[in-house]
Amino acid sequence: MEQLKLQNNNIDKLSKQQMNIVVIGHVDHGKSTVIGRLMADTDSLPQGKLEDVKNRCAKNARPFEYAFLLDALKDEQSQGITIDSARCFFRSQKREYIIIDAPGHIEFLKNMISGAARAEAALLVIDAKEGVRENSRRHGYLLGMLGIKQVAVCVNKMDIVSYSQETFESIKNEYLKFLGQIGVKPTYVLPLSAREGDNITRISNNMPWYRGPTVLETVDNFVKEPEPINMPFRFPVQDIYKFTEAGDDRRIIAGRIETGNISVGDKIVFLPSGKQSRIATIESFNTPVQTEAHAGQSTGFTLDEQIYLQPGELMCRADEPPAKVGTHLKVNVFWMGRQPMVKNKRYKIKLGAVRMPVWLTEIITVLDASELTTDSNRRQIERHDVAECVLETLKPIAFDLSETIAQTGRFVIIDNYEIAGGGVILGSAEKATNRIIEHVRQREKRWERSGITPEARALKYKQHSTLVLICGPAELGKKELAKSLEENLFNSGRMVYYLGLSNSLSGVDINENIERDEHIRRIGEISHLFTDAGLILITTISDLDDYELETIIALNQPNDCRVVNIGPNRFSRAQIDLQMDDLNDMDQAIATIKELLTKKKYLIEYYL
Amino acid sequence: MDRLEALESQSIFILREAYRSFKSLVMLWSIGKDSTVLLWLARKAFIGHVPFPLMHIDTMYKIPKMIEYRDRFALEWKLNLIVGKNINALEAKETFPDGKLNRLECCAALKSEALKHTLSGDWPRWVLDHSTGGFVKQESGEPFTGVIVGARADEEGSRSKERYFSPRDKHNEWDVGDQPPELWNQFKTDFAPGTHVRIHPLLDWTELNIWEYIDRENIPIIDIYFDHGNGKRYRSLGCWPCTSPVDSNAKNVKDVIEELRSGKFSNIAERSGREQDKEDGCGLETLRRDGYM
């Protein structure tokens, strides 16, 4: 003890390496006690804390426990269990640690997951008397999913089983067998008694059959994984900054480099849009000029060529293997939500910087992580289940398989404002169809039409119906154009209607808080009605992207859609019918659109 | 990456995540070392800018040098500074030690209450006018839904259980037992109307890390943290009636770091000079559940 104190005082003056370790296991198996003891025996507690807690126990006539050092919250002291993951700071001779005390009670699994997901290595604690229990196994399984590769198993409370080697070996064998089934190989399995201080920081004489290492040595022997600098470059675009009002004209692409490295001048590609550019500068504040950046850094870039980007794109290097792009993901999900995960319900996926609506489309198997039993006939995913399933995102997203690049191969699911699930991507599950195409197919099957054919309507109205979609960035006068166009066509005898965004919002929708994609969907459905009735429908939508445009075109089918773009064309793939850089001459713009409509035979001339 | 680089990167990531997710965002600035480091990190995250307002809750019992320092750097760094205070309690002298309140009650009135009502916008806010250097009173304002706070997990027990993004309900209350999960740097950025979220970018920093970073970045920190020759300095800042300087000869940042690493404070808790923590067994937790920072 004296010696340890001395060593601690001689700690290297430089800022040292730091590692996050989580302590997990079944409830009451002594996780908090292990940490409390480790901190006390390495002299890592603030002065007076130990005495303080001991005095408080004496005052309340309760036996002192090392766990009280950690379970600082009132609820926890009275119930004697850990409710939430707590961080404890401690340092060995080798490095600094944040030890995360994770709760073992099933009720607090989401707290355990929050704690474990921050860790680089884990100590899994098993009670020698109780042996391997449900959450010993469940926690062990989840470690693998959370991406924690290093784990050591601590068989605690050896004093209660008279330090029996036989008991230890039996638990060790049982648990190693379980870990073997899920492909986890622990660094060590060690017997200890946290309460008595056996094998915590020094080898215990009570177990002469065990030669080490101690818990402290085990922790120091975990290997600090280097930053993934040599993997393909992945930079989720978190945001795009332009602080023009503060007199700053830089347009900065901000985010954190998950893997790989990049230098000024490197050619890059953004996914899913496929847009390309080059790194012009690496931006930072209060640092020397940087020409290189690598994994782990939160940084910012300016680009050679100004391209229109939105948060959620994934920046990759053009000379490296790109990420995958798709809407259908085969995944492994663990569910923490109070409500089960069900099909046909809109959730939100957060993957890197992506935030997007997502649906559960198929459940392949559901696993009970504590028993490793599977069920292939489940209709929904219950709380604490682990399920292999297929998810469909609203629009294509960029991702990697978790076995290739873990950082961009995992995600969380939001249900009703809460993170309700987490998962890893096993593969891509692309299909020729999607939710919209499937919907239109079903709709056309059910849609009952009268004997009046589209041709009959065209003859009667002297026009072929179409949707005229005016898009482009906001505030360029699109609405004025749409209204003037409607008036012009109306005055020349056409069957025409202008559908404004606000019209659609207040007329059809009661709830003003609808999401943009739902709004797009409704515009598509409304367009279908009007164009089916033989009208020329004019509408405007700002900042439409490729997928939104494809959705509207699909929903409006089998009727036509003509796209007029005002201002910079930000589509990557979409074919537009008319491009106008500005609306300075409104009459000319209207004439040009009418020319298009005439040429494409929507406006049938009277004399024909 | 070394320890400080890793901490800095994570804090910047959190700040940017907050800025992306919350339309109505504010950062609390207590003038102390932690929230000043936080402010510096915001300038790092937004490449020299601070694109949201800073809020200082003034109890009017602050050590006077703190106010001088606040106004000087708010002007120099072009900060949008909002000051809030509990005018009613101050005018009625319902405070400590002037009034009948004990230390905890005083904290609740001058800090927690003032904070709650200034955040929600139902009490007046005093906004710094950069053209005059004075403050302009605003009778009411929009509520803030994202509040960035410089709490550190190593300060005391209840803070060690905080999330980076921690929801507070309509009454500013913190449900410790039912906190949202956080994994793989995905935080709670979705919230129901009427609730707000506290954001803690400094959760993983220790007191020592803070000082090492101040040293590395050369951040101009308020000088009452240093001994000016009388063998005393402040280790933690607060209101003068409840905050005592500690005995120390640390005259600059390097001395403070030395003192924390291997010197007299290497194992003495930082808040040992803060009296309100000692009023009952779990003083700070009681305050925090009720909205204290």
SS (H, E, C) A476-499: CCHHHHHHHHHHHHHHCCCCEEEE
What type of residue sits at position A201? T
Higher per-residue confidence, A168 vs A55 = A168
Per DSSP bridges, beta strands A373-375 and A354-368 are: antiparallel
Tell me which chain A residues have a C-beta less than 8 angstroms from the C-beta of B188.
Answer: 417-419
Q: Please check the confidence at residue A167 and state whether its pLDDT lies above 60.
A: yes
Judge if B121 and B234 occupy the same domain. no
Domain tally, chain B: 2
**Residue B128 domain-assigned?**
yes
**B147 and B52 together in one domain:** yes
Which of B153, B183, B285 has its CB closest to that of A73? Answer: B285
**Looking at the partner chain, which of B44, B154, B212 has a beta carbon nearest the beta carbon of A285?**
B44
Does B177 lie at the interface with A, CB-CB under 8 angstroms? yes
CA–CA dist B87, A443 (Å, integer): 63
Q: How high is the mean pLDDT of chain A?
A: 87
- Using CB atoms within 10 A of its CB, is residue B27 exposed (0-12), middle (13-18) or buried (19+)? buried
The answer as to whether B212 is a domain residue is no
pLDDT of residue A298: 97
The overall longest dimension of chain B from CA atoms, in Å, is 53
Same domain for B200 and B85, yes or no, is: yes
Q: What is the CA radius of gyration of chain B?
A: 18
CB neighbour list of residue B100: distance below 8 Å, 6 or more residues apart: B94
Looking at the DSSP bridge assignments, the partners of residue A133 are none
**Minimum mean pLDDT among A294-298, A435-439, A549-553: which range?**
A435-439
SS3 content of chain B, % helix, strand, coil (to 5): 40, 15, 50
Cβ proximity of A411 and A423 under 8 Å: yes
CB contact under 8 A, B188 and A418: yes
pLDDT at residue B163, rounded to an integer = 84
For A324-428, CATH gives: 2.40.30.10
CB A456 within 8 Å of CB A448: no
User: Which residues of chain A from 28 to 47 reach within 8 Å of chain B, CB to CB?
Assistant: 43, 45-47
Shared domain check, B257 and B134: no
Q: Which domain holds residue B38?
A: 3-205+281-289
What's CA A400's distance to the chain center, in Å? 12
Task: Say whether pLDDT at A355 is over 70.
Answer: yes
Question: CA-nearest residue of chain A to B164?
Answer: A114
Identify the three-state secondary structure at position A185.
coil
The model's pLDDT over A259-311, given as tens digits with 9 standing for 90+, comes to: 999 999 999 999 999 999 999 999 999 999 999 999 999 999 999 988 888 89
A285–chain B Cβ distance below 8 A for any pair: yes
CA dist B107 and A311 (Å) reads 41
Does B213 map to a domain?
no
Identical fold, A324-428 and A453-599? no
Contact B285 A252 (CB under 8 A): no
Q: Are residues B196 and B96 in the same domain?
A: yes
B211 occurs within a structural domain: no
Q: B232 and B152, same structural domain?
A: no
Please compute the mean of the pLDDT values over residues A98-126 and round it to a whole number. 82
A502 pLDDT more than 60? no
| pLDDT at residue A16, as a whole number | 66
What average pLDDT does the segment A575-582 reach?
A: 93
Whether residues B100 and B58 fall in one domain: yes
Is residue B142 in some structural domain? yes
pLDDT score of A545:
87
Confidence check: pLDDT of A83 > 80 = no
Q: Record the tokens describing residue B174, joined without a space.
A: 């913190």
Contacts of B3 in chain A (CB under 8 A): 15-18, 96
Q: At what angle do helices A109-117 and A134-146 cross, to 10 degrees?
A: 40
Range list of H helices, A366-453: 435-446
Q: pLDDT tens digits, residue range A27-50?
A: 888 888 898 888 888 887 777 777
Strand partners, A270: A315
CB distance B50 to B43 below 8 Å: yes
B127 shares its domain with B184: yes
The CATH number that applies at residue B68 is 3.40.50.620
In chain A the first and final C-alpha atoms are separated, in Å, by 104
Cα dihedral A395/A400/A402/A407 (nearest 10): -100
What pLDDT score was predicted for residue A121? 94
Strand partners, A86: A101
What is the rounded average pLDDT of the residues A244-252?
89
Output the pLDDT for position A9: 39
If asked whether residues B58 and B141 sit together in one domain, one would say yes
Q: Which CATH class is domain A2-221?
A: alpha beta
Cα–Cα distances in Å, from B221 out to A417, B32, B44, B73, B261?
39, 8, 16, 10, 19
What is the architecture of the domain spanning A235-317?
Answer: Beta Barrel (2.40)
Q: Give A-chain residues touching B51 at CB under 8 angstroms.
A: 241, 243
A 92-121: CB under 8 A from B: 96, 98, 108, 110-111, 113-114, 117-118
Phi-psi region of A417 (alpha: psi -120 to 50; beta: other; left: phi over 0): left
Assigned domain for B143 exists: yes
pLDDT band at A212 (very low <50, low <70, confident <90, very high): confident
* pLDDT of A221 higher than 50: yes
Supply the pLDDT for residue A508. 42
Instruction: Work out how many CB contacts closer than 8 A connect A with B.
Output: 169
Asked whether residue B50 is domain-assigned, the answer is: yes
**Kind plus residue range of the DSSP H or E element containing A190:** strand A189-191
pLDDT digits (tens, 9 = 90+) for A364-385: 999 888 788 888 888 999 998 9
Q: Which residue has the higher pLDDT, A342 or A76?
A: A342
Nearest to A298 among B12, B153, B176 (CB): B12
Res A90 pLDDT > 90 = no
B residues 62-101 lying closer than 8 A (beta carbon) to A:
78
Q: Is B102 on the interface with A (CB under 8 A)?
A: no
Place of tokens 């995540």: B17
Query: Residue type at A546?
Result: D
Looking at domain A453-599, its CATH superfamily turns out to be P-loop containing nucleotide triphosphate hydrolases (3.40.50.300)
> What are the backbone angles phi and psi of residue B78, rounded to the nearest 5°?
55, 50
- Asked, as a colleague might, if the bond just before A103 is cis with ω within 30 of 0, I would say no
Three-class DSSP category at A51: helix
Instruction: Verify that B64 and B172 share a domain, yes or no.
Output: yes
Residues B41 and B156 in one domain: yes
pLDDT-flagged residues of chain B (< 70): 156-158, 160, 170-177, 267, 269, 271-293
Per-residue pLDDT at A58 exceeds 50? yes
Chain A residues in contact with B48 by the CB 8 A cut-off are 248, 285
Asked, for residue B215, whether it belongs to a domain, the answer is no
Contact assessment for residue A481 and residue A541, using Cβ atoms and an 8 Å cutoff? no
Q: Do both B265 and B125 map to the same domain?
A: no
Two tokens at A214?
């101690």
* Percent of chain A topping pLDDT 70: 91
Please check the confidence at residue A79 and state whether its pLDDT lies above 80.
Answer: no
Could you report the predicted ipTM of this complex, rounded to two decimals?
0.90
Q: What is the pLDDT of residue A213?
A: 94
Sorted by where each begins, the domain ranges of chain A are 2-221, 235-317, 324-428, 453-599
Q: With the CA atoms of B138, B140, B146 and B151 taken in that order, what torsion angle do they form, in degrees rounded to the nearest 10? A: 60
Residues of A in contact with B186 (CB under 8 A): 350, 411-412, 419
Q: What is the pLDDT of residue A259?
A: 97
Cβ A419–B183 below 8 Å, yes or no? yes
| A155, A176 contact by CB (below 8 A) | no
Q: What is the pLDDT of residue A506?
A: 42
Of the two residues B103 and A188, the one the predictor is more confident about is A188
Q: Does A515 score more than 80 pLDDT?
A: no
Among A146, A332, A561, residue whose Cα is nearest residue B182:
A146
